[in-house]
Chains A and B, each alone.
Chain A
């Protein structure tokens, strides 16, 4: 990684992730995720229940954490005139943006990934086999995409609104609005436009497809169009919001 980008990331890490942000995110993650592990062990359909309970407990934490971390980094950065100071130094706006975004995204993924690592390890203590491992891998992939989407969306809102409180409110209304307004129907592709169901659908379909490749018995309630909607929403949505954020950052008026 280039020197300036690394320096800017170190700056962001020390400034934005200083006490108590990191501690709060880790604490909420532990409280939200760990209790489900013990409940799971006696479930008959362990593997898919593991996926379901993990993402259903994590979506809330991911949304709240992305709102606080990205909002604090970008919207508070503008409000408190930290960005004005940072942009007076030689690195370009794109580099400053990239450093801030990458730091926040990677840190969030690292924390939630650690939770998944711990939970997944407990799964392996009781069950082993190729399919468990691949479920775990797909879960990491979809966790990555879920964090990518939420970080990118919160970043674009924070840069557009330029106010911490308002940007968090807009983001939460949007995210939870989607989560709770789409009717529950596992066969309806729009149901997978949620952070709760999107990753589950992605992991479910991908695992069934992989099992089929291995010649193992497999079945999934997730249809191809649902999988496509879920993956596109997380990946293309995340990319679009990221590019939009970069564009806003480059045009941003810091008055």
Chain B
């Protein structure tokens, strides 16, 4: 597997977290390696709980967590010195101006020349003109940009972004992806991104972990995952897709199925001959098969297949 010889950025061993009777993380053991890491999963999968444990916001009931090689229970101070964070829905001090806020953050981070660092990061996130305005006058997109700025200031070793594209317009989202590329390539800053936007993950992340129901279901590079799951994804074009699909849903070899225009996109279990099965089913349902062919998978399909197989 690519990158296995590199030190993991994040490592969890037997981590469990319960909130009352709800199991948020279920005995998780995994390691993430790479420059830009993506954490994806449906709502309630446990992504935010996982990030909260990495940052010491929440303590795990059992297990050990290492961030950049430091233990979250005993070396949290070392982690916080090296990690910049944009939490989900952060509460900014709205009475501060953008510059005041970043200057205070720079001082808390012991950055040697706060003024210069603030000017530079404001320029990077496109807020140079708004630096003197109070944060309460910022639009949601601008608040997200200032959030990104406070996470990146001082170029920490690792930046954790929880839903960074939230509230950003398409242009803002592209800007954010460019900033991530720039910092990871030119400044050796590593990123962990938790997001629902799979397209962003596919474009920028070199390592992906897929979560659901408090477990890591699959992980690896985008190419590895697509290779692993793409071979199982087929495009099927038939004369009566509706009848055919209703029969397909009953088949035990189907992991997931979706309609795309007039075709059916099917992800099947690995040990099944989809061509034979399709012909058998077509014969049974009196449907004519026009096309059956494997399709090059996207992360969307990988995600769907992984989550479905994990349930």
Contacts and interface: CB of A to CB of B under 8 A. Distances in A.
Q: Is B truly associated with A? A: yes
A212 interface: no
Interface string B211-254: 00000000000000000000000000000000000000000000
A255 B107 contact: no
Interface string A1-33: 001100110110011001100000000000000
Contacts of B81: 90
Contacts of B49: 255
A10 B108 CA distance: 12
A65 B150 CA distance: 32
Contact of B108 (A15, A77, A89): A89
Interface string B52-96: 100111110000000000000000110011011101011111011
A14 B96 contact: yes
Given A11-B93, A80-B91, A87 B108 contact: no
B110 interface: yes
Contacts of A82: 91-93
A17 to B, nearest CB: 9
A91 interface: yes
Interface residues of B, number: 32
Contact of B59 (A3, A10, A11, A253): A253
B283 interface: no
Given A14-B96, A85-B90, A92-B77, A255 B58 contact: yes
A84 B57 contact: yes
A128 interface: no
A254 interface: yes
A80 B52 CA distance: 16
B108 A4 contact: yes
B19 A255 contact: yes
Contact of B110 (A10, A19, A90): A90
A90 B110 CA distance: 9
A85 B77 contact: no
Contacts of A253: 57-59
B58 A90 contact: no
Contacts of B109: 89-90
B105 interface: yes
A88 interface: yes
A15 B96 contact: yes
A149 to B, nearest CB: 28
Nearest to A80: B91
A87 B57 CA distance: 8
B133 interface: no
Nearest to A4: B108
Contacts of B105: 89
Contacts of B100: 14
A85 B57 contact: no
B58 A84 contact: no
Interface of A: 3-4, 7-8, 10-11, 14-15, 18-19, 77, 80-85, 87-92, 251, 253-255
Given A3-B107, A88-B85, A255-B19, 11 more contacts: A7-B104, A14-B100, A18-B95, A81-B91, A82-B91, A85-B150, A87-B57, A88-B55, A90-B77, A254-B58, A255-B57
